[in-house]
């Protein structure tokens, strides 16, 4: 009886140690795509997000469940930023054109340009999100955007009237911005 009792106790100890050694890895090295939404504002000043002519990017760390109900202002959209191995940053904004102010529609569809009035740097928090979203290791990279006027390109299957729903792709690379609107 003692032998069976001892073996049972030894087995329970081994099993107990095995399960207590199973701890979830929460050190942050494994990308979590649940908290990677940012807000991008068009015709805003980069640093303050006040009305202007450029873009602003806010790292709101919105989860997937909250992002759909997040209150956006006119000229704002949610985006999951993605970094590329070449160091570029891409943000896709999907929105209805009625989410754009008259000024933004004029700037994008008539002037076909986005003007950046001062150089700015896309900070670490946004860049880290972009690298994590892409599954690429992040090592402190930042992107600078130089002031200037950046052309808006269009890709469309139709001709004529302004579309109801658009996808704006903004890519930042080597100090410049590329903007494409698709519908």
- Averaged pLDDT score across all residues of the chain: 82
Query: In this structure, are strands 165-173 and 89-96 parallel, antiparallel, or unpaired?
Result: antiparallel
User: For residue range 22-57, what is the model confidence (pLDDT) as tens digits?
Assistant: 443 333 334 444 447 889 999 888 877 888 888 888
For residue 58, give both structure tokens.
């806010």
Contacts of 98 (CB under 8 A, 6+ apart): 164
- Cα–Cα distances in angstroms (integers) from residue 96 to residues 35, 165, 166, 167, in the given order: 24, 4, 6, 9
From the number of C-beta atoms within 10 Å of its C-beta (0-12, 13-18, 19+), residue 143 rates as buried
Whether this prediction's pTM lies above 0.85 is answered by: no
pLDDT band at 160 (very low <50, low <70, confident <90, very high): low
| Domain span including residue 147 | 3-182
Region 15-20: what's the mean pLDDT? 43
- Model pLDDT, residue 159: 65
Provide the domain count of the chain.
Answer: 1
Region 153-177: what's the mean pLDDT? 88
**Residue 104 and residue 76 in contact, taking contact as beta carbons nearer than 8 Å:** no
- Model pLDDT, residue 45: 82
User: For residue range 71-99, what is the model confidence (pLDDT) as tens digits?
Assistant: 999 999 999 999 999 999 999 999 999 99
pLDDT band at 21 (very low <50, low <70, confident <90, very high): very low
- Model pLDDT, residue 49: 83
pLDDT of 16 > 70? The answer is no
**Residue 122 and residue 174 in contact, taking contact as beta carbons nearer than 8 Å:** no
Query: In this structure, are strands 176-182 and 148-155 parallel, antiparallel, or unpaired?
Result: parallel
């Amino acid at each position: 009886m003692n032998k069976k009792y001892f073996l049972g106790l030894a087995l329970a100890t081994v099993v107990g140690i095995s399960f207590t050694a199973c701890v979830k890895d929460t050190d942050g090295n494994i990308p979590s795509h649940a908290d990677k939404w940012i807000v991008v504002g068009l015709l805003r000043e980069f640093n303050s997000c006040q009305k202007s002519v450029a873009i602003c990017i806010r790292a709101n760390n919105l989860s997937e469940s909250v992002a759909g109900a997040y209150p956006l202002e006119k000229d704002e959209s949610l985006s999951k930023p993605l970094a590329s191995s070449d160091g570029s940053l891409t943000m896709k904004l999907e929105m209805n054109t009625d989410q754009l102010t008259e000024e933004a529609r004029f700037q994008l569809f008539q002037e076909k340009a986005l003007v950046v009035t001062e150089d700015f740097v896309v900070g670490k928090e946004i860049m880290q999100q972009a690298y994590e979203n892409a599954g690429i290791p992040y090592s402190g990279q930042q992107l600078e955007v130089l002031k200037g006027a950046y052309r808006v390109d269009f890709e469309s299957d139709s001709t004529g009237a302004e579309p109801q729903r658009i996808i704006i792709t903004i890519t930042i690379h080597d100090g410049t911005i590329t903007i494409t609107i698709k519908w």
